[in-house]
A and B are shown apart, each in its own frame.
Chain A
Amino acid sequence: MKEIVRKVITIHVNGKTYDIPVGTGRYEMPESETLSHTLRDRLGLTGLKIGCDQGACGCCTVIMDGKAVTSCMTLTMDCDGKTITTIEGLADRATGELDGLQQAFLDNCGYQCGFCTPGIIMTAKAFLEEHENPTEEEVREALAGNYCRCGTHYTAVESVMAYVQKRKEERQ
């Protein structure tokens, strides 16, 4: 048996802590690896999608320390100590109850093929954490980096606005 000194990146994802060894060996993470691949291939969190791998479609969006980031444009090496939420982390972990935003997308059919939907939900989620009562126009601006070919441009935004309205009523 050998003992070695190795670099490790620690990330906290959906309430769990992961230590990921870095290096050039078969089971180690190369320094060039992006967060999207780490989450999908090493942690099995395939809810985020890689649509373009060019930072232009938003399908790979996750929330890192409260901000929406395109995980395909983020090196995992830059995420040491970060707290990350993926689409899998939105629903209640114990009961499976959907987050209100997810429920709004279901109720309003704010999805079609669904490939871009996790990214849209995560982008909107991060935005709504910082904006209590946004206008539809502000929501559209927030989603400007999310590409959808099916044309959910109306129903996805209606879903977000329905959630905004419901949240407002609940908090009053």
Chain B
Amino acid sequence: MSELKYVGKETVRLLGRDIVTGRARYTGDFRLPGMQYGKILRSPHPYAKILSIDVSRAKALEGVTAVVTWKDVDRNIYITNGFTPPKHHHIMDEYVRFIGDAVALIVAETEDLAMEAMELINVEYEVLKPVFTIDEAIAPDAPQLYPEFPGNIAPHKNNLDFEVGDLEKGFEESDIIVEIDAAMENGQNPLPVEPPTIICSYENDTYNFIASAAAPAYCHQNVASSLDVPYEQVRLEAPAVGGSFGSKLYSGNVQCLVFAAIMSKAAHCPVLFTYTKEEHFGVHQNRMSTKAHIKFGMKKDGMASAIQMTQYADAGVCASTQEFMLAVGTNTLPILCKTDNKSYHAKVVVTNHIPSGSFRGYGYMESTALVSQAVFEACEKMGIDPVVYLEKNAMKKGDRYHNSMAGDHPWQENKTADWSNLVTETAKAFKWSERFKGWGVPTWVSPDGKKARGVGVGAAGHSDTGGKPSNANVTVTGLGAVYLSTCMSEFGAGTRDVMLKVVAEELDMPLESIRVSDADTGMTPPDFGSTGSRSTYCGGIVAKRACEDVKKKLFALAHQKFGVPEDDLGFGNGFVYRLSNPEEKYGLFPHLMGKVDSVTGCGHFDGVHNSTIFHLQFVEVEVDKEMGTFRIIDHFGGSDAGVIVNPLPLKNQCQSFFAGIDIACMEETVWDPNDFRVLNPSNIDYKTRTFNDVVPHDHIILESMKDVENDYPFGAVGVGEPLLAPGGPAIRMAIYNACQIKLNSYPFTPARVLKALKEKEEQEA
């Protein structure tokens, strides 16, 4: 491969200068002419029927422009992607189904006035009996949430029921079979620092959004479906996005956009609608609670031989993206268990609490925690070193595996990297073989016996990074300006910089000559967006293909005008030149086109089903057995970027693992058991990692595509999304190795650690 000029070179990110000077514009920074503010009166009951609602006094308040109740909203407006599950959740309804459900929308000249108007609304409710958990929802006599969902189960269209291989034979051949019930119950919050913030302006039969959205076209589609309008009646521009972590993907819970749309149409003016932090915690979306029963068989050499999994996901009040999450989550099976013998069955359940939804590690963060528990159990019982297990079961390049997401062609061959090698290299860098002393054996115990240390490992990934389409256009003008048109938005990873560098590299044009469009769905071709670590691959490849198309068109022009053979032409620095004689050059202007003229190339990518991603983390923890506390004394990650595009932003991505380890350490949405309201809806009460509490960390990043034939954009693959998933399982294992307790409820609070230690003592006595 020839020397790369731009890929892999450090440059200041496109948004960098604006970020450090405060000039970067996020949705909440825009002030449109005539803009007003939206607020929502919310239900105090988890399940109730609205008997009467009187908004006359609120409407009469000076400065209030619109008040909307369920009676005013078109009954065809549901939260839906137009595909699956069946429409059920009216954006506003006669029934309120969780604490925080919308009762009235208010638009006023100021937020204060809207809040004042809220006090003037009288609502009479008939309180109904709610269901809060999966078990309550599926109980025989459970109250029903939606007529469309008998038994509170949301019918799905994703492949959540499959059996492949020979399960019976697989278990017969197993040397050990474990069966476990595992769950994730704490409803962690993705918690980007910027709360969901939307501006909508309804003009010319179009809902124009400025929205803090991570995947603009995907969101656009879901909003259009929900509003029951054609695609072109929505336009969405995503400016700088203040973090997403799945919560601004809007793959399901597009409520805040639909509310803003209704408000804007009712008030006849642009409306800014932003969630307070309390609403961000209490009504937007949480990671789903889920539980599973897993039967796992393994041979004595550490090869998985069969796995059977049944899983339930708690959608909360609105079923939307959860079945897709479960489907992506099934990728954990081939990622962690190298066996063709498997079955999977899952159901999505609705309950009377905050809707659940995507969180970085879309569905597989959850399944990683569940499956890892079974794998851990089997390895411990057989005395198999977990790293040996991962080395044997992680996919190698070319390995055949079952991807349940891949429609009619589920058997795919991994084309990305040798993940087994990544396990080996990362383990070596962490010095695992010296530090792991065996299952349940601490690496160190304090002389008084009160403190003990242990090591652990967790791995995660998925196998569907590219199974969705992307598009981008590149325009080269007569004067050598280059325009990249993409709706890929920027929420911190440097995605748009990746695409910029790919264009510079492919066209051999300086970075300064290239402009990247706004992420505006009204002016750019649709793209599935920056989700699932797909943007480096898919965004990069369509940018590259658009450039190739531009060059093809320029070469055709050169052939037409000067008779030079197209297969003897190259392009760089604004000139078409002869490959056989680089001195023979044709300038864009005046040779090939006019001054104010251009050639545009289109880049399209259908997506693939054989591109995988994998990441693993090692930890060492020290448990204080007297206090029940633990701290991470070493943390180490391993990733493979294929070829590095943006070195420092990539390093940032590889260090963005805190929400993952803190699944185990501290993060928890605390529910009131009586009504499932969120009891800790603030940045103080919901504990997260602070700057003075960082853990000792290092990582390795392999570049396995360097000088290797591949069909990725200059060899680059995505890295960021799986950074959260391995943390919890690794810590769980490390605590076991430190003090022989198995903790089954996240987070591992001192009370839980002490209880488990006490139970262990009692068992031993």
Contact = CB atoms under 8 A, between A and B. Distances in A.
A147 B691 CA distance: 8
Interface string B8-25: 000011011111111111
Given A57-B683, A109-B649, A102 B20 contact: yes
A115 B20 CA distance: 10
Contact of B692 (A86, A112, A141, A154): A141
Given A113-B241, A149-B245, A155 B651 contact: yes
Interface stretch (A15-23, A44-52, A76-84): A44-52
A153 B193 contact: no
B560 interface: no
Contacts of A30: 112
A108 B694 contact: no
Interface string B656-676: 111100000000000000000
A56 B683 CA distance: 6
Nearest to B723: A151
B276 A53 contact: yes
Given A57-B193, A113-B492, A147-B688, A87 B26 contact: no
Contacts of A147: 193, 683, 688, 690
Interface string B700-711: 000000000000
A35 interface: no
Given A54-B277, A54-B684, A153 B655 contact: yes
Contact of A117 (B19, B692, B694): B19
A7 to B, nearest CB: 18
B363 interface: no
Interface string B292-323: 00000000000000000000000000000000
A112 B21 contact: no
Contact of B492 (A45, A56, A86, A150): A150
A68 to B, nearest CB: 14
Nearest to B193: A51
A60 to B, nearest CB: 11
A98 B19 CA distance: 12
Interface in A106-141: 106, 108-109, 111-118, 121, 137, 140-141
A45 B22 CA distance: 9
A112 B652 contact: yes
Looking at B109, B243, B694, which has the most chain A CB atoms within 10 Å of its CB? B243
A136 to B, nearest CB: 10
Given A88-B21, A149-B245, A151-B656, A114 B15 contact: yes
B596 to A, nearest CB: 31
B738 interface: no
Given A98-B21, A106-B20, A153-B691, A148 B29 contact: no
Contacts of B491: 113
Contacts of A102: 20-21
Nearest to A40: B29
A13 interface: no
A172 B518 CA distance: 45
A88 B20 CA distance: 9
A48 B22 contact: yes
Interface residues of A, number: 56
Place the interface of chain B in its size category: 35 or more
Nearest to A141: B692
Contact of B648 (A50, A118, A140, A155): A155
B682 interface: yes
B243 A115 contact: yes
A86 to B, nearest CB: 7
Contacts of B697: 154
Contacts of A88: 21-23
Interface in A50-81: 50-54, 56-57, 59
Nearest to A114: B19
B240 A113 contact: yes
B21 A91 contact: yes
B578 to A, nearest CB: 41
Interface string B108-126: 0100100000000000000
B46 interface: no
A143 B656 contact: no
Contacts of A45: 22
A11 interface: no
A148 B689 CA distance: 8
A144 interface: yes
A115 B193 contact: yes
Looking at B191, B245, B648, B692, which has the most chain A CB atoms within 10 Å of its CB? B692
Contacts of B15: 114
Given A30-B112, A46-B22, A49-B194, A106 B17 contact: yes
A152 interface: yes
Nearest to B278: A54
B307 to A, nearest CB: 32
B194 to A, nearest CB: 5
A108 B208 CA distance: 37
B658 A153 contact: yes
A90 interface: yes
Nearest to A144: B692
B210 to A, nearest CB: 13
6 contacts: A51-B683, A87-B21, A106-B17, A147-B193, A152-B655, A154-B655
Instruction: Please list the 9 inter-chain residue pairs (A to B) with the smallest Cβ-Cβ separation, ordered nearest first.
Output: A47-B22, A115-B242, A151-B656, A114-B19, A113-B492, A87-B22, A112-B492, A56-B683, A109-B648
